């Protein structure tokens, strides 16, 4: 009927199965909601069990969303999350490698940089993404289809004062995506990055708060710093949902020829 034709038109991921790392909060959570709204079934893979279960319960009517604990620094846990999606739903169409951390509070200058912090940031943001790429490709390549999306950052393009480990890790994500996309091109699997600018998620709020501990800024003031001082754009704020819609595009068949791309969602900040 016309009704179901219309429903099919607006559900751009009907029947697709997705894993979202870091899906318990922020960008990952907004993307889980957007994917479910568009007909996908989503496995949220995170280390925040209570939050992850709550998000899954909120989105999970009709088996649409579930939570699994997955620390992306442990390859076996990433493999398990992928295998869980396949066991539960029969396949994996979309892998969103989105879990990330910003590193030690305050983002100290080069002279005070902690090399162990560099290892921790790279373990989550870069090695975790590589594990996600490897294990998603393991189940996608035999089916000759799939879309892998990795969250990089505008910081991976333009650097930024103090963002030493974070910027390096996000530039690495862009490099990983390009290298793996070249290999995947002949196998029907697409690999792309998204580079968001600042959004007041728990990650960004905690990072900005740590820059000026002596100022004792209120939560509201910190939020305003992320939204206004960092988003130099046309009076509109960048939101998690803006990234979720970018992920929806890359996940969907609308992007069937888009491979190896870094979709920058920053209102032009990195080019101005
Ligand atoms: P967030 O803190 O709301 O969400 C990050 C999630 O990742 C959390 O739920 C956290 O538990 C999870 N996570 C952290 N370490 C993990 C691990 N080892 N294994 C599994 N999950 C883990 O923050 P967010 O802003 O939504 O961050 C999502 C991604 O977006 C990150 O990669 C971040 O670097 C990137 N990003 C954020 C911004 C921003 O301004 N918020 C800008 C550019 C890029």
- Please write the tens of the pLDDT for every residue from 34-63: 999 999 999 999 999 999 999 999 998 778
- Per the DSSP assignment, residues forming a β-bridge with 69 are 46
Centre of ligand 1 to C-alpha 6, Å, is 34
Give the separation between CA 222 and CA 134, rounded to whole angstroms.
37
166 is catalytic: yes
How many Å lie between the centroid of ligand 1 and the Cα of residue 189? Answer: 24
Q: List 41's β-bridge partners, or say none.
A: 17
Instruction: Record the pTM.
Output: 0.96
Which residues are bridge partners to 96 per DSSP?
20, 149
Active-site hit among 67, 166, 234, 257: 166
Cα angle for residues 258, 26, 129 (degrees, 5° grid): 50
Atom of ligand 1 nearest to the CA of 206: 2
ipTM score for this prediction: 0.99
Q: Does residue 29 contact residue 5 with C-beta atoms inside 8 Å?
A: no
Q: Is the pLDDT of residue 232 over 70?
A: no
State yes or no: pLDDT of 14 exceeds 70: yes
Average pLDDT score, the chain:
94
Enumerate residues 6+ apart whose C-beta is below 8 A from 66: 42, 43, 44, 56, 60, 88
Best residue for ligand 1 mutational test, from 201, 205, 230 (most atoms within 8 Å of Cβ):
201
Kindly tell me if the per-residue pLDDT of 8 is higher than 60. no
């Amino acid at each position: 009927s016309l009704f179901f034709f219309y429903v099919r038109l607006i559900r751009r991921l009907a029947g697709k199965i997705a894993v979202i790392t870091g899906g318990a909060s922020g960008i990952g959570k907004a993307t889980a909601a957007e994917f479910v709204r568009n007909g996908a079934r989503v496995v949220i893979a995170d280390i925040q069990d209570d939050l992850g279960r709550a998000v899954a319960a909120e989105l999970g009517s009709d088996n649409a969303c579930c939570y699994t604990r997955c620390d992306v620094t442990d390859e076996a846990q990433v493999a398990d999350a992928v295998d869980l999606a396949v066991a539960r739903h029969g396949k994996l169409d979309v892998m969103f490698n989105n879990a990330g951390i910003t590193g030690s509070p305050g983002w100290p200058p080069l002279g005070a940089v902690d090399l162990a912090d560099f290892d921790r940031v790279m373990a989550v943001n870069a090695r975790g993404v590589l594990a996600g790429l490897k294990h998603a490709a393991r189940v996608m390549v035999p089916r000759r289809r799939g879309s892998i999306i990795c969250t990089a950052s505008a910081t991976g393009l333009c650097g930024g004062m103090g963002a030493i480990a974070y910027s390096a890790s996000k530039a690495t994500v862009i490099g990983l995506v390009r290298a793996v996309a070249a290999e995947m091109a002949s196998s029907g699997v697409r690999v792309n990055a998204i580079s968001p600018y600042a959004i007041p998620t728990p990650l960004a709020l905690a990072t900005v708060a740590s820059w000026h501990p002596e100022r004792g800024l209120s939560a509201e003031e910190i939020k305003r710093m992320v939204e206004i001082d960092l988003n130099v754009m046309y009076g509109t704020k960048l939101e998690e949902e803006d990234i979720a819609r970018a992920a929806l595009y890359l996940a969907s068949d609308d992007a069937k020829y888009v491979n190896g791309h870094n979709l920058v969602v920053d209102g032009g900040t990195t080019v101005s």
